[in-house]
Amino acid sequence: MSKVPVICVDGPSGAGKGTLSQRLAETLGWHLLDSGALYRIVGHACVLRDISWQDESRVVEVAETLDVRFVPSPAGVSVWLEGEDVTAQIRSQDGSRGASAVAVLAKVRVALLDRQRSMATLPGLVADGRDMGTVVFPNAVLKIFLTASAEARARRRQAQLLEKGESVSLPRLLDSINERDERDTNRSASPLVAAKDAVLIDSSTLTVDAVCDRVLELAADKGLIARSPN
């Protein structure tokens, strides 16, 4: 594992981790781990098997036996569970609720560790999540902690929802972001916290391109990639 370069991208919901990680993986030709999708799939698989999100031992069983595939497509990565495309279901509001419920279970987090670590294969891995730099890949050479103000994240979320034809007020989005931050930061199992050796980047006023360039520069500084000629 230690010979494979890993870039960790952690931070709160809506800071732009997903977009940044996808962009980095594409630019570098590296693998991408969307760890949030794993928690979403576990939550969804529980619904399919009629298992309560609170039933830790049965949720662990689900996490250990997941038959899941990530399939790259022009519209991003699609997620297949037991031969069925479940991308839309896991990205729904229910998908988020299930993920957040199973993610607080310490044994479920442990059950997903090997699967996440096994994705670190050559030429390299971009790992997107909450505990990539603190728990899953503590030896990663480059760890980014991406933040943005709650207001900036609420505005981005509102724009995303508007694209899907849903209109939600900014104060309501802000409330739900603050609530989620509180839950993620204060849970006992792998709370959301920046690794001591993480580089903090605040994306509130930065474009995706600017953040991506900054991370590539840091990767070059660390000797993970060749410095671009310009």
- What residue ranges bind ligand DC (CB under 6 A)? 13, 35-36, 39-40, 99-100, 103, 129-131
CB of 36 to ligand DC, least distance (A): 2
In the bound complex, which residue of the shown chain has the CB atom lying closest to ligand DC? 36
Q: From residue 170, how far is each of 1, 74, 91, 135, 174 by CA, in Å?
A: 43, 31, 21, 33, 6
Radius of gyration of the chain (CA): 17
Distance CA 140, CA 125 (A): 10
Q: Which is nearer to ligand DC, 29 or 163 (CB)?
A: 163
CB of 103 to ligand DC, least distance (A): 3
CA dihedral sign of residues 205, 142, 25, 79? negative
- 96 SS3 class: helix
Q: Which is nearer to ligand DC, 132 or 225 (CB)?
A: 132
CB of 109 to ligand DC, least distance (A): 7
Q: Which is nearer to ligand DC, 5 or 12 (CB)?
A: 12
Q: Which is nearer to ligand DC, 39 or 53 (CB)?
A: 39
Tokens of 200: 């903090």
CB atoms within 10 A of CB 213: 14
CB of 100 to ligand DC, least distance (A): 3
